Structure 1
Amino acid sequence: MPTAELGRFEFESGQAVEDLTVAYETYGEFDGRNAVLVCHALTGSQHVADSPDGVAGQGHGWWRSVVGPGKAIDTNDYFVVCANVPGSCYGTDGPSAEGPDGDPYGTDFPPVTVGDWTRSQRRLLDELGVGRLHAVVGGSVGGMNALDWARRFPDDVRRVAAVAAAPRLDAQCLGLNAVARRAIRTDPDWNGGDYYGDSHPDRGLALARQLGHLMYLSKDSAGRKFGRRTAGREAGGDAFPSDPAAAFFPYRDVESYLDYQADQFVERFDANSYLYLVRAMDDYDLAAGYDSDAAALAAFPGDALVLSFTGDWHFTVDQSEDLAESFRAGDASVAHHVVDSDHGHDAFLVEPESVGPPLRDFLADGVAGRSVTDTAESDTEPSSYAPVHNSLFSG
């Protein structure tokens, strides 16, 4: 797994790490103009596509259906870079990394922001000899990261694609994230973040992740996937032996799914990192320091693609349309591509047939790409929000 030592890095908090280590992966060959930076989502890694040296706990690239030879982000054509963000736990410095005293930083690691992620990526690209990027692409909070590139380094990137993202979180998502963080901090094994011994706050992290999974589903997708079905046994009392009354009631498919996902997650992720990254997502506001989102994006002169999903209540179609309008107010050429989907927020990961074609054509031809559909008829007329059905791009 390649890493880069970026030297002293000062975070937006004012705190610094004397030699920031960033883990990254690259795919394809660089020709001077074909670099595409892919920004991962909350608990993703630099392992965006399949490769021989995968990241522990992630046997396959998290966007392997979209990135790779012959795929939408074609590594035969593009030099793809994906870096694990500061604060995470897949090789880039974060709370679980070794601090100056030889022990894990824990909560002594500096607070991180999405802006810190962007600046660390710029430093990494400098180390790799990459100047101006052909494109930055990101999904979910990775889409916020991509937007931050358009705001912070508008002349360093030709095209920006924000997939299932928004300029900021709304109050409901902020509240749910607050509950997730409290689940970790109230675990008796959290120990103020100093738990890097035998006991980790696995129960709190599991609950936080289960809440996240519920946020990523839509009502339709949850109903289709689980309904009210039971998980093949009469009762669920085994999970909580201290609650004997639970043995009277069924253990449902949705509970089984959440328990399985949580068990897998706590094996591969760090609880402090989850706290740090969720806070960074909560903190992000595209308009911070500006009068509006449009003012924040006014200096970006390139092409922008905003891609949203009708079943996503985490980052909604309306939020994406507001973002597109902010791009339209400046010099950018923008398309807002709406996909008719009931998969919820997970759609950007589980519907490559919906995500791939517009990304492929956007990277090749900008907003004029064949599969890139804008919901707005003009710069002045209201949007129709006409969704693009999956079947148009399948096969």
Structure 2
Amino acid sequence: MSANREIASLGEFRFECGESIPELDVAYETYGEFDGDNCVLVCHALTGSAHVAGSFREGSSDQASAWWEDIVGPGKAIDTAEYYVVCANVPGSCYGSSGPASENPETGEPYGPDFPPVTVGDWTRAQRALLDHLGVGRLHAVVGGSVGGMNALDWAARYPDDVRRVAPVAAAGRLDAQCLGLDAIARRAITTDPHWQGGEYYGGPEPDDGLALARQLGHMMYLSKASMERKFGRRSAGRDAHREAFPADPAADFFPYRDVESYLDYQARKFVDRFDANSYLYLTRAMDDYDLAAGYESDADALAAFAGEALLMSFTGDWHFTVAQSERLAEAFRATGEIAHHVVESDHGHDAFLVEPGKVGPPLADFLEDGLAGKSITDTEEDAEDHGDFAPVHASLFPR
């Protein structure tokens, strides 16, 4: 399956901060055929792109690997033989949509820190503008994982009449204090890199060391304690391994270079080759700022106008967005509408929604086809005893 890739120029766009840019470009991919009421919008996670599935086009600046290839495609959970699937890169990113690295048409130079601050609400509004451009009215469903799940929630609150079904996966109505703090440290790693230059680094050395550290911290947030122990343990990477991302300290040669260090260095090196440091600052700020209840009395109040169906999916080993956070969100949906909260037993941490398609796919496929009547869907109210009334899963990587 190959993706149809395009960039839509949507004209002047005013961000929620009040600032505008003269032309908003949104990079997007589409799959399948549109029949008027079969559109499924897929919202990507923090550093994802519009390349959710299908073959990779050489020369593209997007991720080489489709990030949800096992979920989106012909005969898969989000069946492109049945649905018209759209995935759009969010404003502020660096994968084709307007962001800090984009050219400011008024100066001919990259926007850099002059690009307006972006919010999850801006992502939703840009997606709505894109869908209008494509001739898509009401959506069959909006599906998203991680901060993409927050994006899906924002659709239910902001455009409740435009969506039949929403499926936030591994998401919550807001970040907790621990995740806010870790994101702050990641941003400090970038802004204290001497090459960051206040965000004006384009055309010169880039803050690769700071961005690499930020990415390494992100990976620590996405994995669970159990999955890290299983994958790495205390094993050494071997005598011939090299510290590839950062210079070693003077005593390093005496001590083993461990598998977990090698993994983090490898991930950091790959990431700085494909992502922009300013975009990382912008997107983490958007995620941190998101609060479903902002402007409302409660989450339930924010969702009160949504009359469709919702499926929440959470993972027992995810300490980034816990089962308890998802259950509180489910309670907000239950106050006014129809909801199922499907809890997946997994020790893969936050990455479970990406790496366990066999557990994610069946309930998602049934929900898209049959709504809450789908045979693979369960609600947490039925499973509360098994999950300890949804106590938070704190497989913390940071000992108390």
Q: Secondary structure at the match of 2:85?
A: strand
Q: 1:101 to 1:239 in 2, by over 3 A?
A: closer
1:280-339 Cα distance to aligned partner (Å, 9 max, x none): 000000000000000000110000000000000000000000000000001x21000000
Question: Is the aligned partner of 1:213 residue 2:219?
Answer: yes
Q: 1:234 to 1:307 in 2, by over 3 A?
A: same
Name the counterpart of 2:36: 32
TM-score, length basis structure 2: 0.93
Name the counterpart of 2:12: 8
TM-score, length basis structure 1: 0.94
- Select which of 319, 323, 336 maps to 2:325: 319
Name the counterpart of 1:63: 68
The total of aligned residue pairs comes to 382
Give the Cα–Cα distance (whole angstroms) in 2 for the partners of residues 279 and 231 of structure 1.
35
Name the counterpart of 2:114: 108
Give the Cα–Cα distance (whole angstroms) in 1 for the partners of residues 65 and 82 of structure 2.
21
Name the counterpart of 2:356: 351
Which stretches in structure 1 are left out of the alignment for 5+ residues? 388-395
Would you say the 8 A contact 2:40–2:143 is kept in 1?
Answer: yes
Q: 1:79 to 1:225 in 2, by over 3 A?
A: same
Would you say the 8 A contact 2:91–2:122 is kept in 1?
Answer: yes
Q: Secondary structure at the match of 2:344?
A: strand
- Select which of 296, 313, 337 maps to 1:307: 313
1:169-196 Cα distance to aligned partner (Å, 9 max, x none): 0000000000000000000100100111
Q: 1:273 to 1:34 in 2, by over 3 A?
A: same
1:327-368 Cα distance to aligned partner (Å, 9 max, x none): 0001x2100000000000000000000110010000001111
Give the C-alpha shift of residue 57 in structure 1: 5.0
Q: Which amino acid aligns with 1:259?
A: D
Q: Which amino acid aligns with 2:93?
A: S
Would you say the 8 A contact 2:56–2:65 is kept in 1?
Answer: no
Would you say the 8 A contact 2:43–2:148 is kept in 1?
Answer: yes
Would you say the 8 A contact 1:234–1:249 is kept in 2?
Answer: no
Give the Cα–Cα distance (whole angstroms) in 2 for the partners of residues 186 and 138 of structure 1.
32
Would you say the 8 A contact 1:286–1:293 is kept in 2?
Answer: yes
Give the Cα–Cα distance (whole angstroms) in 2 for the partners of residues 40 and 240 of structure 1.
30
Name the counterpart of 1:119: 125
Give the C-alpha shift of residue 53 in structure 1: 2.9
Name the counterpart of 2:374: 369
Would you say the 8 A contact 1:85–1:92 is kept in 2?
Answer: yes
- Select which of 50, 53, 64 maps to 2:54: 50
Which stretches in structure 2 are left out of the alignment for 5+ residues? 389-400
Q: 1:150 to 1:57 in 2, by over 3 A?
A: closer
Q: Which amino acid aligns with 1:65?
A: D
Q: Secondary structure at the match of 1:112?
A: coil
Question: Aligned ranges for residues 1-395 of structure 1 at < 5 Å?
Answer: 1-53=5-57, 55-56=60-61, 58-99=63-104, 100-233=106-239, 241=247, 243-330=249-336, 332-377=337-382, 383-384=384-385, 386=387
1:22-74 Cα distance to aligned partner (Å, 9 max, x none): 00000000000100000000000001011353743522311000001111000
Give the C-alpha shift of residue 238 in structure 1: 7.6
The percentage of counterpart residues that share the same residue type is 74
Structure 1 runs (4+) deviating above 4 angstroms are 234-242
Q: 1:338 to 1:52 in 2, by over 3 A?
A: same
